[in-house]
Amino acid sequence: MCLSFLSSKVLVLVFMVSCINQVNSQKFCNVDDFGAVGDGKTDNTNAFRNAWKQACQSGGAVSMVNGTYLLNTIQFTGPCNGQVSFMINAVIQAHQGRSNTNYWINFDNVDGLTIRGNGTLDGQGASAWPFNPCSNAVSCLPLTPSLMLTRIKQSLVHNITLLNSKGFHMKIENCENITIKSITITSPADSPNTDGIHTGNINYVNILNSSISTGDDCISMGAGTRNINITGVICGPGHGISVGSIGKYPSEQNVEGVNVRNCTMRSTQNGVRIKTWNSTFQIYVSDVTFQDIVMDNANNPIIIDQQYCGGGHECIGSSHVQVKDVKFIRVEGTSRSKIAVNLNCSSSKPCRGIELNNINLSLADGGNATSSCSNASVSYIGTQNPAPCQENYLYYDA
């Protein structure tokens, strides 16, 4: 049955019987009742759009129970009447091939959204990665991110799996009070620019109990990220948890209130990192805490890089991004790089209020790791392995 052939009157009628009332009074709009076919061949974009429209109007749930649903670029927009759910207990699959659209699936302008289920969003990235234009370019149009949340509030993303995105797996922008819980993100170590979760211009976000394996940053917190808690996340492979990059565009907002706790970095290219460009405008990264972090054979376990100009590009001129009040508390485990603590701060805006508190990082292949500090004011508390910087730091409060 293809609903687009029906008149709008019949369509409304079909919609009313299509969303089944459940005990808890939430209506379930099964995409199959809107003409979707989970055979991995049929394009279901219209059926999903219609199921969403109905769920959004009635405060219901879009649901699917089985199969592989092929889906083109789609936007699920609000505002909706009441709480809306999107329950994925199937595979939702992107079309094969290269694409540079702003998103594959975008939820926009919804208050009280729940995206959950045991299902998978499969971006079919392998068919697009060979065409990635961003691997070594300073500016480029990135490949399509899988799941993009914009203007979403009071919402929850629970349990789902994101697999092989073409670009970033998930982008959260201009959102408030979002919890991401128990999700799984998986793509190969060599997949280009496949960040796990990227945030920008958000306030009050929790990312909890999740496992993220990608070819790029596990979680990257871009400009305007405020009040974010990242707890119980296992990263690797990938490039670790990162604040930044910050300072590329003059329109950027400060980053403030970042808490990363109880996370593990397995064979990541960086552990916990702050990276800033050679901006001439002044913004800051402030009030950042990384605590109870286990490094399992991570390269650059602790790194502040204020000379970051994109992969492989040396910056000309110093960064005017002020990095301040950053704590590293109980960061332990093994480093793959000789320099385990690298504070490479800005000569024009030296890092202020850096605390290294009970650090215990050894080289993965035995032996002692080292520290390197430039333009950083550091205070040391408790165990320090590697030993504190001997030079190039401004002062040392025992």
Ligand X SMILES: *[C@@H]1O[C@H](CO)[C@@H](O)[C@H](O)[C@H]1NC(C)=O
Cα separation, 243 vs 304, in Å, equals 9
Cα separation, 284 vs 246, in Å, equals 9
Can residue 30 be called a binding residue for ligand X (CB under 6 A)?
Answer: no
Residue window 152-181: x/- pattern of binding to ligand X, with contact defined by CB under 6 A: --xxx-xx-----------------x-x--
Among 87, 219, 288, 304, binds ligand X (CB under 6 A): 87
Can residue 234 be called a binding residue for ligand X (CB under 6 A)?
Answer: yes
Can residue 116 be called a binding residue for ligand X (CB under 6 A)?
Answer: yes
Can residue 316 be called a binding residue for ligand X (CB under 6 A)?
Answer: yes
Question: Residue 123: which of 135, 113, 132 has the closest Cα?
Answer: 132
CB of 358 to ligand X, least distance (A): 7
Find the part of the chain contacting ligand X (CB under 6 A) among 11-19, 53-61, 93-101, 307-315.
Answer: 307-315
Distances (CA, A) of 240 to 20, 216, 236: 43, 8, 7
Question: Residue 160: which of 145, 170, 174, 172 has the closest Cα?
Answer: 170
Among 184, 201, 289, 379, binds ligand X (CB under 6 A): 184
Look up tokens 């730091």; give the residue. Answer: 393
CB of 345 to ligand X, least distance (A): 7
Q: What is the DSSP letter of 189?
A: T
What tokens were used for 239?
């490039």
Find the part of the chain contacting ligand X (CB under 6 A) among 8-16, 103-111, 185-193, 313-321.
Answer: 313-321
Q: What is the DSSP letter of 3?
A: G
Residue window 278-297: x/- pattern of binding to ligand X, with contact defined by CB under 6 A: x-x-----------------
**Between residues 113 and 128, which has the closer beta carbon with respect to ligand X?**
113
Among 133, 188, 232, 311, binds ligand X (CB under 6 A): 232
Cα separation, 268 vs 270, in Å, equals 5
Residue type for position 283: I
Residues 6+ apart with CB under 8 A from 13: none
What tokens were used for 327?
């704590």
**Between residues 98 and 158, which has the closer beta carbon with respect to ligand X?**
158
Among candidate residues 169, 198, 239, 320, the one labeled active-site is 239
Helix axes 8-18, 45-58, angle to 10 degrees: 70
Cα separation, 72 vs 48, in Å, equals 10
Active-site residue flag, 313: no
CB of 40 to ligand X, least distance (A): 9
Question: Residue 242: which of 315, 383, 263, 143 has the closest Cα?
Answer: 263
Would you call the peptide bond into 386 cis, given omega within 30 degrees of 0 as the criterion? yes
Can residue 313 be called a binding residue for ligand X (CB under 6 A)?
Answer: yes
CB of 307 to ligand X, least distance (A): 3
Distances (CA, A) of 248 to 38, 138, 252, 272: 43, 10, 8, 20
Can residue 262 be called a binding residue for ligand X (CB under 6 A)?
Answer: yes
Can residue 267 be called a binding residue for ligand X (CB under 6 A)?
Answer: no
Among 21, 22, 66, 390, binds ligand X (CB under 6 A): 66
Strand partners, 322: 284
Catalytic positions are 239
Residues contributing to the site for ligand X (CB under 6 A): 65-67, 87, 89, 116-118, 154-156, 158-159, 177, 179, 182, 184, 204, 206, 209, 211, 227, 229, 232, 234, 259, 262, 264, 278, 280, 307, 309, 313-317, 339, 342, 344, 347, 350, 360, 362, 367-368, 372, 374-375, 383, 392
